[in-house]
Amino acid sequence: MTDSKDSFKMEPKSSSSSNTTTTTTSSSQKHHRTFIMTQNILRILVIVFTAVSVVVTVTNNQTVTLFSFQFEAHFYYSSSLKFFVVANSVVCFLSVLLLIFNLLRRRQQTHQLKDYCFFLFLFDLVMTVLLIAGCTATSAIGFVGQYGEDHVGWTPICNNVKKFCRINLTSLLISYLAFFANLGLTVLIAYKCTS
């Protein structure tokens, strides 16, 4: 009779140990799913923001007449705006490829994610730097377009092409949103790599 009581006491302990392992595994899987979902949402935001920024910049143009001469303002007349379009296009395209790759890998476990965690961090870091480079180049030329530069004799042009400057400013702000989303993605990946 004591044997049956002892065996009865031992079963709950082994069951409790099994429940603890199951709870830990379940919590780890839930944390992994939350990480993947957050990463994909941020990456989709980067894709949307960069795509919208490119479309707005490329389709933006304005023709004005000054002293019976017609002038057209378009992004391809400025090397800074060309770089801005290329930087946003590259980030958008590569982010789409990485999103597809992540969706194909979503069934893999957390320990397999750590195998390419450094690659994700490096990719997002390079994309963040590329975005901020495009944004700052456009911000600089936008500042000169808005206010001019007296020391070298450049006059402001935004007084003459207000619509063009206003739409480019909107595109620039959207690209800055993409930068902040990508920066958040970089921080998220760095946190995941170190935890």
| CB of 103 closer than 8 Å to CB of 40 | yes
pLDDT in tens, 103-153: 887 665 555 666 678 888 999 999 999 999 999 999 999 999 999 888 888
Q: Is the residue at 13 inside a domain?
A: no
Looking at the structure of the chain, the number of domains it has is 1
Q: Is the residue at 91 inside a domain?
A: yes
pLDDT in tens, 173-182: 999 999 999 9
The structure's pTM equals 0.81
Residue tagged 């476990």 (tokens): 109
- 3-state DSSP assignment of residue 155: coil
Q: Between 164 and 11, name the one with better pLDDT.
A: 164
Radius of gyration (C-alpha) of the chain in whole angstroms = 27
pLDDT in tens, 52-111: 999 999 999 888 887 888 888 888 889 999 999 999 999 999 999 999 988 887 665 555
Entry field: residues in the chain: 195
Q: Is the residue at 122 inside a domain?
A: yes
Q: Tell me the residue range of the domain where 83 lies.
A: 33-194
Q: Is the residue at 38 inside a domain?
A: yes
Q: Is the residue at 138 inside a domain?
A: yes
Q: Is the residue at 77 inside a domain?
A: yes
